[in-house]
Every structure is written in structure tokens, then in C-alpha cells.
Amino acid sequence: MKFLDQAKVYIRSGDGGAGSVSFRREKFIEFGGPDGGDGGRGGDVWAEAVDGLNTLIDYRYQQHFKAQTGVHGMGRNRTGAKGADVTLKVPAGTQIYEEDNETLICDLTEVGQRFRLASGGNGGFGNQHFKTSTNQAPRRANPGLPGEESTIRLRLKLIADAGIVGLPNAGKSTFLAAVSAAKPKIADYPFTTLHPNLGVARIDGRELVIADIPGLIEGAHEGVGIGDRFLGHVERTGVLLHLVSAQEESPAKAYRTVRTELAAYGNGLSEKPEILALSKADTLDAADRKKKLAALKRAAGRAPVLLSSATGEGVEATLRALAAEIGQSRLRESKAETSDRWRS
């Protein structure tokens, strides 16, 4: 499954309704005077984070969103009704940028957050507003103000709880396939995975959304291999699962290569909690296991999990370790976010 995580959308808020020119005319009432009402405001364009969406795929089919024009004012001082708003429904985690794709307009991180992207034009004044001592019968009313139009870009960073990183062929996609219903492509060559895959794993009655991204190699931050452009997908995860293949000649070197790329990418990735696993453990005999485990432990400064998606060894332990970290880091986030919820 490919994640459409960018969309370009044209929005336009509604024009204001025109003010009305009208005079009070009743048979037995002299000096009726002007009674043209004001036009209604145009509708606004909103963005709202809603539940139940996890892609921007809807925006492939509809790219134009226009709010309604305000209703014109009418006689007898009747003000026109406000034009109907239009709301772009997006998944939580969507960021909205200006057309340049750099200026952030809003960041909708939680379900229920709303942001006004464009305000409707004000309605025009009806002729009752233009009555003066010297002009008792103004034949003038304002047109409504035009709505605002712009092109915006929606960008969704998948909000996975855990992100799998590692060199190509480390067994990342195989792990995702083993713990979730996702069916990523798996093969015995590097760069099998060309775009992120998401899966939902269950452990101890909890659900974890896990993202599998393409492998990183030395120089990825400079665009070598597929580069680091998919690391954005794991920026918001609570924990990383770092897989080092037991088939690596030097697991320590493999570990350091990926750590270096994570640090070069920045954005807090290298400070994220990391669960480290020596994957494809089933391919080693007892002596090699010991040796490679020790080497990796020395490089990382802590003991890795022995993992085999083929035999199931260590799979539950890995999920449990991920769940434990996610619990903690999500808690930290929700505390921090209350003060910094609207970044616009």
C-alpha cells in the first residue's frame, strides 16, 4: 500500500453578499426612507482533523473547495444569510503549508482541531447605512467583499507508534509482516521496500502502529540509496526499532552506519528511544550468535534482543519492549503538547 501523503488543494472562501438598495413604501406612511439590508458574510474554509482517516487519498479526487457566497441583503432591513462554510476533513497529523510548501499554516495533530484557512468576504452595507442629514434617500449600497483564494499543500506524516530502521535487507518488512496483517514486499535484495508500509500489531491487549521504511545506507542523508526522505515518516513515532541483520559481517559497523544517518538527519531522531535487535537470529549457530551479540552489545552499549521473524524467537519480547517505550514517550508528549498545541 502506497501512502499518498501530499496533496495540493485550491480553496476559496465565499464572497460577501451585496447590500441592497430599497425604500420603505407603504400607502399611509410618509417619509419611508431607505431600508436596504446588508449582505451576508461569505462562508469560511476550514480544515479539521477527524477520526477514521489515515491518508489524504480523498484529495486525489477533489482538489477544489469553495465556500458559498453570502446572500444579498433585501428590503425591510433584512440582512442576507451567511454563506455556508466548507470544511476539509483531514487525518490527525496533517500539516498545511502555503503553496511554497515551506510556510506552515497549521499543524493539526489531534482529532477535533480546527483551523480557519480562509475567511469569507464581508457582506456589503445596504442603503440604510448611507442615510445622512443631507441625503435622505441614498441610492447607494456596497457590493460584498470578495472571498480569499489560495492554493495550499497538505502534508501527512504518518503517525506510527514505532518506526523500523536499519540497513537494507535487515528484515524490516519481514518483521512487519510477521506481527501485523500488512503485506509488504519482501525479497532477498536491498531496497525491496521503496515506500513506507504501515501495520498494526497487538501485544498484551494494546495496539501498536508500526511503520516499515526503506533501508538506510551510508550517505543516505546526502541522498545515497533511496536517501533519508522517508525518515519523516518516523519523526513522530514514540520509539524506533533498529534491526541489525545477523548476517552482517560486522553488526557493530552496521549499527553505527544507521546511527550516523539518524544523527545526520536530525529532527530528534537520534534522541528517540531505540529498541535494538539482532535480526535473522535463526541463521546463526550458537558460537556465532554469541560473538555477534557481544559485538553489537559493545557498539550500542546495551544488550540487543535476539530476533527471528522466521521462527518467532524474540518477536513478542520485541513488541513488548516497543509497547513499554511507547507508553512512556507518548505520555511525555501529551504533557508537552497542552501548552504548545497550536503551532501556526
CB atoms within 10 A of CB 124: 25
Told to check if 342 binds ligand GTP by CB under 6 A, we report no
Which residue, chain included where needed, has cell 544517518?
A: 261
**Cβ-proximal residues to 264 (8 Å cutoff; 6+ apart), any chain:** 220, 221, 228
CB 31 within 8 A of CB 138: no
Which window, 94-102, 144-152, 262-270, 304-312, contacts ligand GTP (CB under 6 A)? 304-312
Instruction: Give the burial string for 21-49 (b: 16+ CB within 10 Å, else e).
Output: bbeeeeeeeeeeebbbbbbbbbbbbbbeb
Which window, 252-260, 264-272, 307-315, 325-333, contacts ligand GTP (CB under 6 A)? 307-315
Among 171, 199, 238, 304, binds ligand GTP (CB under 6 A): 171
CB 242 within 8 A of CB 195: no
State the amino acid at position 218 in one-letter form.
E
Told to check if 188 binds ligand GTP by CB under 6 A, we report yes
Size of the site for Mg ion (CB under 5 A): 4
Number of residues assigned to the chain: 344
Residue nearest to ligand GTP (CB): 215
The residue among 143 and 219 lying less far from ligand GTP, judged by its C-beta, is 219
Shortest distance, position 176 Cβ to ligand GTP, whole Å: 8
Per-residue mark of binding to Mg ion, 7-36 (x: CB under 5 A) = ------------------------------
The residues in 242-271 that bind ligand GTP, with binding defined as CB under 6 A, are: none
Q: Cα(198)–Cα(178) distance, rounded to whole angstroms?
A: 13
Per-residue mark of binding to ligand GTP, 41-80 (x: CB under 6 A) = ----------------------------------------
Told to check if 54 binds Mg ion by CB under 5 A, we report no
Among 68, 142, 180, 193, binds Mg ion (CB under 5 A): 193
Which residue, chain included where needed, has cell 525518515?
A: 231
The residue among 29 and 181 lying less far from ligand GTP, judged by its C-beta, is 181
* Chain center to CA of 3: 11
Told to check if 317 binds ligand GTP by CB under 6 A, we report no
User: The C-alpha cell of 190 is what?
Assistant: 536491498
Per-residue HEC secondary structure of 147-172 comes to CCEEEEEEEECCCCCEEEEECCCCCH
Shortest distance, position 256 Cβ to ligand GTP, whole Å: 17
* Interface residues toward Mg ion, by CB under 5 A: 172-173, 192-193
